Chains A and B, each alone.
Chain A
Amino acid sequence: MSIRERLSGNEAVAVALKQIDPDVVAAYPITPSTEVPQYFAQFVADGQVNTEFVTVESEHSAMSACITATAAGGRSATITSACGLALMWELLYVASGSRLPVTLAVVNRALSGPININNDHSDSMGARDSGWIQLYSENNQEAYDNYIMSLRIAEHKDVLLPVMTCQDGFITSHAIENIELLEDEKVKKFVGEYKPEHSLLSGEKISIGPYDTPMFYFEHQYQRARAMVDSKKVILDVSKEFAALSGREYGLFEEYKMEDAERAIVVLNSTAGTAKAVCDELRANGEKVGILKLRVYRPFPMEEIAKALAHVKAVAVMDKAESFSAMGGPVFNDVRSACYELKTRPHIINYIYGLGGRDVPTTDIKIVFDALKEVVKNDKPGEIYRHVGVRGV
């Protein structure tokens, strides 16, 4: 029997960490993810875990310690947000390039400057090309489930890439909601033991992190890129196994009332909940609208997204991050590119929304659906790169 609880998103991740009982947790405090290492420190203090908890002096050192701990054959994890993730940047590439399955719980927060402690996705979106698998979570339950699954995905022999699981700072990290937890033993059995093929402490003499000359570097990058492609199947397999255990099913994305939808919003993390509520309301009025909620952003499910959107007339992709490219946000560009080869493809527009913790009320989602109505009516996208919820626009 699963355990019914009421937890915040941060508590959910902390509980998952306790149940997993990793060998090493190295973390540095930063709002809004700080609570996770705080809760975890208490588990350590109370002897509820057998983990070496390394209270490093920066996020850069947190990721550095996790990389070597994993290379040493230990299962390692860290937690961060915003500038903390930015400080890890250099090492994110080292973790994936060394094919070390570190797991990282990101509590999404806006990047400075100016400094802002509230939610948007500029932190993890900036890390989208670092060779990390990225899973996004609508609520505390998904943050918990994704985190538990992330170890199995990362450590799979066909993958061996680090995984970051993301949830929205404050919105889900601090909001207390109902949650169903798995029993400790079930989690332990599901994640199993970390048994790397090679490690620094196995007794063999190995060198990790060589200078990689032009003679070999390209091949190593190709292998890393292939692993990202291959990870899609592993993510689905692990999700299937998790569904059998928990009754909760996860795919690459969730299609909400998409079957006959003429207009659709593509969104990830907590705003998906708001969008679903608006979708229900509009559906009650007979409007054919739907939501595509991305769960797996890296690897990007290119073919699957194209297929899911092929029958839609107009799509709005919501980005809670600017990319300052003058051509829309990151999710938009990926979704739009994915649809290029469709014989008949929807009009696709982009909305940047909710930056730096700007509230995203249902009225904003309605604005987006109404705009899509215009796009359908005119059979023209109009302005493609748009903003909602910002003053003066």
Chain B
Amino acid sequence: MATAYNLKQEASKPERFVGGHRLCAGCGAGVAVRGVLRALKDEDKSVSGVATSCLEVSSCLYPFTAWNDCFIHSAFENVAASVSGAEAAYNALKRKGKIKDTFKFIAFGGDGGTYDIGFQALSGAMERGHDMVYVCYDNEAYMNTGLQRSSATPKYAEVSTAPVGSKIPGKAQFKKDLTETIVAHDIPYVAQTTFISNFKDLHEKSYKAHYTPGPAFLNILAPCPRGWRYPPEDLMAICKLAVDTCVWPLYEVIDGEWSLTYEPKTKLPVEDYLKPQGRFSHMFKPGAQYMIEDFQKEVDKKWERLLKKCK
């Protein structure tokens, strides 16, 4: 980047995703979109494809749109394929001299549309090498349809299709590691981020994703106050706890080279992250200590593994 990151300066740029949309207060999806699009160069135009999701139904309701640039939605499971079609048309039209401007292509999907139903299209688009950025705003469940379990839902979280019952304590499986799966596609740029401090991490990763030729993938932890059950104003605090407990480590993989972009000064216990969220409240009831221990063990294991990869 030409100049050092300056939040005030970045925030004064014209928004490509504007207010007036109907996302809930404290929702991470809009923050993710604004952050990703803000990293585009002023002179570049963009086409954003969005998978069916909270983001889609809340940001573009006929005849209104919050997209102050080009937007397309067609279905739930196909946003990666959809955006690859736009990129292909761009290449053809550019080659034929019919387009002068530079366009950037971004696909946005929630975790359901990315980890689950849209996984095939995502894998295909990454493998084919389209010059596009796939952004997953991961809120760890199907929030648009009412908090159903996805493969991104953490173990023990209470969701509507994995409720806490007298026999089963919420979701039975650990969260799928999608970021690593996309790293295995050997694409030029993969990163995991969320919203901390002055958004520098999100901004810089978004910039690299946009301006690294070829496919790039950003996995953004984007909390959902309704589904996670925390006060809307605590969005940033929840994100900070996710990274300081190493539940959601921040890292990037450039051409196969792993590097941590944030290392907590003191690695906090997972309870600090779990406790403020209603979806984990049953883990703090008598006799549930084993769940916290199990959760901690998994986080530690994955963190150690990540540290080795980043050395």
Contact = CB atoms under 8 A, between A and B. Distances in A.
Interface of A: 23-24, 26, 50-52, 54-58, 60-62, 64-74, 76, 90-91, 94, 98, 200-201, 203, 205-213, 216
B248 to A, nearest CB: 29
Nearest to A206: B70
Interface string B74-112: 110110111111101111110110110101000000000
B92 A52 contact: yes
Q: What are the 10 closest A-B residue pairs judged by CB atoms, nearest first? A: A74-B89, A65-B85, A57-B124, A61-B81, A68-B85, A209-B73, A64-B78, A72-B89, A23-B92, A52-B88
B306 interface: no
A165 B136 CA distance: 37
Interface stretch (B58-66, B170-178, B228-236): B58-66
Interface residues of B, number: 48
B124 A56 contact: yes
Nearest to B96: A50
Given A24-B92, A72-B89, A208 B61 contact: no
Given A68-B49, A68-B82, A201-B89, A54 B71 contact: no
A203 B128 contact: no
17 contacts: A24-B85, A52-B88, A56-B84, A58-B81, A58-B124, A61-B120, A64-B74, A64-B85, A67-B85, A68-B86, A69-B86, A72-B93, A74-B89, A74-B93, A76-B85, A211-B56, A212-B62
Contacts of B255: none
B89 A211 contact: no
Given A54-B88, A72-B89, A210-B60, A205 B74 contact: no
B124 A23 contact: no
Interface string B239-256: 000000000000000000
B47 A54 contact: no
B121 A61 contact: yes
Given A58-B120, A61-B80, A210-B73, 17 more contacts: A23-B92, A23-B96, A26-B85, A50-B92, A51-B92, A52-B91, A54-B84, A65-B84, A67-B82, A74-B88, A91-B75, A98-B74, A201-B47, A201-B90, A201-B99, A206-B70, A209-B74
B90 A72 contact: yes
A136 to B, nearest CB: 27
Contacts of B75: 64, 90-91, 94
Given A65-B84, A72-B85, A55 B73 contact: no
A324 B89 CA distance: 41
A213 B62 contact: yes
Nearest to B80: A61
Interface of B: 45, 47, 49, 56-57, 60-65, 67-75, 77-78, 80-86, 88-93, 95-96, 98-99, 101, 103, 120-121, 123-125, 127-128
Contacts of B57: 211
A24 B88 contact: yes
Given A56-B124, A205-B67, A207-B71, A64 B93 contact: no
A64 B84 CA distance: 9
Given A24-B92, A73-B93, A200 B85 contact: no
Contact of B81 (A56, A76, A98): A56
Contact of B124 (A61, A66, A76, A213): A61
